[in-house]
Amino acid sequence: MSLLHLLRGLCTLIIAPLLTLLVSVLSLIDLTVGRRSEIKAQQFPRFWGKILCRIAGVRVRVEGFEHIDPSQTYIFAGNHSGQYDIFSFQGYFPHDFRWIAKKELFRLPVFGQAMHRVGYIPIDRSHGRQAMKSLDEAARRIAAGSSVLIFPEGTRSGDGRLQEFKAGAVLLAIKAGVPIVPLGFNGSYEVLPKGRLLPRPGEVVIRIGRPIVTTEFKTGDKQRLAGALQAAVAELLEPQYLPR
């Protein structure tokens, strides 16, 4: 890593928590004092994502806009090969969406309050009745018009290659009854893979696939949908990210 790249990486590491706090505070002020809508408040998370990409020297390109309708509600689902999947999508994806996050994050001071106010959706990742109840509530909010992004692999890939999709992740799409859009994240593994601290400059290309209609699937079909979705995502990836 060159000295310039090292300095960029260190700046990103230092600025990221401060920027997260600033964006959280601005979002709260905008929604409580300015009393603006959730949609308008999304300008702050978008700013957060773009700045974290630019500081690190990460270029972002999105392909396949023609496959989605700006007025339609979707569940976007993609591979998760690096941390910059999140930053690039937040900063540069044009469709209005919300994040699904584990409920514990909503208890954090300032950050958790901001997540709640901008419309992010909590999910209980434990097992049992409470987890199913939170899944049903998330599905209800999505069906009511909140597009979201999910990573069906469940965690970042250790080697950048596409991992098996968990059937439980697509259950949300079946319950919500909205189309699920496959996404291919290319390049984020090279920027910041799992286990590395400092990002490197590079390019992230987000490819949008054709929506998959979920209304024909029942709860018992979740394995079939997970397989179809994984195959659709694989078609959007460069060869080096495909399973061996």
128 has a pLDDT exceeding 80: no
Residue 28, CA distances (Å) to 16, 45, 50, 86, 179 in order: 18, 12, 20, 21, 31
DSSP conformational letter for 91: H
Dig out the tokens for 214 from the structure: 């979920």
pTM metric for this prediction: 0.91
H/E element, 60: strand 58-63
Domains of the chain listed by start with CATH number = 3-241 (3.40.1130)
pLDDT digits (tens, 9 = 90+) for 59-85: 999 999 999 998 999 999 999 999 999
126 has a pLDDT exceeding 90: no
10 has a pLDDT exceeding 90: no
Q: How many CB atoms lie within 10 A of CB 130?
A: 11
How would residue 117 be classed by pLDDT, with cut points 50, 70 and 90?
confident
User: Of the candidates 62, 48, 45, 53, which has an alpha carbon nearest to the alpha carbon of residue 199?
Assistant: 53
The mean pLDDT value for 21-45 works out to 84
204 has a pLDDT exceeding 90: yes
36 has a pLDDT exceeding 80: no
Dig out the tokens for 21 from the structure: 């706090």
125 has a pLDDT exceeding 80: no
Cα 52 to chain centroid, rounded: 15
Are the beta carbons of 96 and 147 closer than 8 angstroms?
A: yes
How would residue 51 be classed by pLDDT, with cut points 50, 70 and 90?
very high
User: Of the candidates 182, 158, 16, which has an alpha carbon nearest to the alpha carbon of residue 91?
Assistant: 16
Taking every pair of Cα atoms in the chain, the longest distance, rounded to a whole number of angstroms, is 54
53 has a pLDDT exceeding 90: yes
